[in-house]
Chains A and B, each alone.
Chain A
């Protein structure tokens, strides 16, 4: 991948992509989907609809059984290889359960985002170039927790830990960010802050961003484009203004209830 590409956004294209798990479950059914560089896409669907499968196919964590996925015009390698690692180096990923080493400092966790960008011997000896430490610090500043750099990650609140997760992704200087249920383990207020961060980063840096969300109100509020999945199939693709109650019923296979809303308890709008 061209290193000068830096933060320049990258598009993603699924062509008849299919994922069949070893137990026979079909996680993705002949998906055709194009995501333009710099887009902010929210993917909705009930659990098991294939939201995670879709995200994890983009960085090759879940190999596809058929069809192709192209990132920036190149197809995603389906085997562990140096090429796949180079692709992953430019794709940041954010997880529901944060996935930080709790006993290490926030800084160490963010530097994980630089692992694929420094010479192997430096990473091995934990000798980080000043340039990379600077990138890590700037990533922490962007999510507003640079003051916590030398605190152990486990001592932070859930919302702060997720910000460390975002900073780790940003430290990769990614052209794509994949967020897999980033607010599922957070309370409504913190969820809003984290979603605001993701939207702001998308706007400021133009990083193509895909966010999996279970909650409809969050999806409608934050998505510039909403993609609905059901049983591994694309059942909706459009803007939040045009999405109707009927569309949501089609996505969820049932009527929308209070349980599908995260911000309902809040006094807003």
Chain B
């Protein structure tokens, strides 16, 4: 510690107050401008808070007698999510492989696939649900198709990035043994990234259960459709019950998938 006493300690550089001040002013101005734009006022909020309280009062307690009638639609929601996840997860594999720079078949294929993925991701799941509802009619099939696309979008984005991080030495060893492109992918790239893939698919399933509530709003089947009917009939105690069921389902799935993911790594 003796040397510390003689060493020259640098002065703490002064804080850049001007920069901090500008940033803060910018944030305040931006928020104020946005609030003006959407007609938001604290006064009105305080005056009307009673309305919100009334809604909450009407929504409580949850209507447990409604629970038995939720069983079938909830099952349908889970079924929609399962179909969407399984089909989407399988289709996501080739799309991810071709979007990974180290595995793809030439820059053209990569470019096309990458942009295809971007389009899938940019369009919201509600859009897909409406599109498929128009195509195959309102109901669970439209929901399952929408979730398939949604799963492809989520899984392929995450998985293609994992594939870009794999050890390419291994895939070279397969090429050196005379393996084809697909064999290099199947025996070299996919086994290395299997645990990430499973974890992304489980995450996709979680999102799909959540999304199935929203999809019901546009008539794509499942528990969301019941939610929409009860809401438009002002049956708020039933709405609370539905939200409670989905909440419990999401929590359970989250726990189960967390356990599976821990085992995998």
Contact = CB atoms under 8 A, between A and B. Distances in A.
A59 B176 contact: yes
A89 B191 contact: no
B257 interface: no
A113 B170 CA distance: 13
Given A97-B169, A103-B191, A112-B187, A91 B174 contact: no
A168 B177 contact: yes
Interface bracket on A:
20 to 34
A100 B180 contact: no
B170 A101 contact: yes
A85 B188 contact: no
Interface string A70-101: 00000000000000011111111101010111
A113 B173 CA distance: 9
Contacts of A172: 177-178
Interface residues on B, range: 10 to 19
B179 interface: yes
B183 A123 contact: yes
Interface in A112-139: 112-113, 115-117, 120, 123-124
A61 interface: yes
Contacts of B180: 85, 115-116, 120
Given A93-B173, A99-B169, A100-B170, A85 B187 contact: no
Contact of B177 (A88, A97, A103): A88
Contacts of B191: 101, 103-104
B178 A103 contact: no
Interface in B129-186: 169-170, 172-180, 182-183, 186
Contacts of A95: 169, 173
Interface string B6-32: 000000000000000000000000000
Nearest to B182: A124
Given A101-B187, A101-B191, A123-B183, A115 B178 contact: yes
Given A101-B187, A104-B191, A116 B179 contact: yes
A101 B179 CA distance: 15
A16 B174 CA distance: 29
A85 B177 CA distance: 8
B192 interface: yes
B194 interface: yes
Q: Residue among B175, B177, B192 with the most chain A CB within 10 A?
A: B177
A93 B176 contact: yes
Contacts of A120: 180
B179 A91 contact: no
A59 B179 CA distance: 12
A79 to B, nearest CB: 13
Contacts of A93: 173, 176-177
B174 A112 contact: yes
Contacts of A59: 176
Interface string B242-265: 000000000000000000000000
Contacts of B176: 59, 61, 88, 91, 93
Nearest to B264: A103
A50 B191 CA distance: 32
A89 B172 CA distance: 13
B195 to A, nearest CB: 8
A89 B170 contact: no
B172 A92 contact: no
8 contacts: A61-B176, A85-B179, A85-B180, A88-B177, A91-B176, A99-B169, A116-B180, A120-B180
Interface of A: 59, 61, 85-93, 95, 97, 99-101, 103-104, 112-113, 115-117, 120, 123-124, 168-169, 172
Given A59-B176, A85-B178, 11 more contacts: A85-B180, A93-B176, A101-B170, A101-B191, A103-B192, A104-B191, A112-B177, A116-B178, A117-B178, A168-B177, A172-B177
